[in-house]
Amino acid sequence: MATITKKELIDQISEKTKTKRIIVKRIVQAFLDDVIEELGQDNRLEFRDFGVFETKSRAARIAQNPKTLQRVQVPPKRTVKFKSGRLMKLRLREQDDKAIQNTGTDGSQQ
Amino acid sequence: MATITKKELIDQISEKTKTKRIIVKRIVQAFLDDVIEELGQDNRLEFRDFGVFETKSRAARIAQNPKTLQRVQVPPKRTVKFKSGRLMKLRLREQDDKAIQNTGTDGSQQ
């Protein structure tokens, strides 16, 4: 298991698409920036096959300290959720199936 | 709250970066495809400021049907987890702070 950085991915894409590195970098950065902006505006992003990004909110609420009985305001908070799409799930399942075939952990005959 | 598609995002990026739509499309698609490929190989993707994609595994296990006492093999399964990064969290917090200022839900004086 390796960690791939933005820089490494940009190099890969530049080679694969035969596009200058500087152009790939600009577009990938614009893509990531735009996703952040849209999520900041509470928009949902749906990339077919890849997956969906959306924000989830926890409403503001009043909590009480059980010892002091003091009530405190807990501010609202939003987080980002990602749900993987069709192709991403398929790729992971393919890998899982290979693992099953290699180890025979599903008990079926190959 | 709107849903933004890949197509809409490509149009935005094309305009913003003054790059031909066809080139933006090719690079964005290569980016999404590469993320899927890397996750399929169990690699972790770390995009500074944006966030981290990684796979999580649930090991194969044996489950038992409590009624019939029959044991069944549950195959391993992998899912994709996304953790938002520094800038993404900051943008969401800014929006939350604005919401607090507008509604005064934190009880402090602005």
Q: Which domains are seen in chain B, by residue range?
A: 6-54+80-103 (4.10.520)
Q: Is the ipTM of this complex over 0.85?
A: no
The model's pLDDT over A36-82, given as tens digits with 9 standing for 90+, comes to 999 999 999 999 999 999 999 888 889 999 999 999 988 888 899 99
Residues 6+ apart with CB under 8 A from B109: none
Q: Which residues in chain A are contacts of B38 at CB distance < 8 A?
A: 4, 9
How close does chain A come to B36, measured CA to CA in Å?
A: 6
Q: Where are the alpha helices (DSSP H) in A18-109?
A: 21-40, 86-103
User: Dihedral sign, CA of A29, B29, A93, A55?
Assistant: positive
Q: What is the pTM of this model?
A: 0.81
Tell me, yes or no, if A96 comes closer than 8 A to chain B by beta carbon. Answer: yes
Contact residues, B window 60-79, toward A, CB-based 8 Å cutoff: 60, 73, 75-79
Q: How much of chain B exceeds pLDDT 90, in percent?
A: 71
Percent helix / strand / coil, chain A, rounded to 5: 45, 30, 25
The model's pLDDT over B7-21, given as tens digits with 9 standing for 90+, comes to 999 999 999 999 999
Fill in the DSSP letter of residue B65.
Answer: -
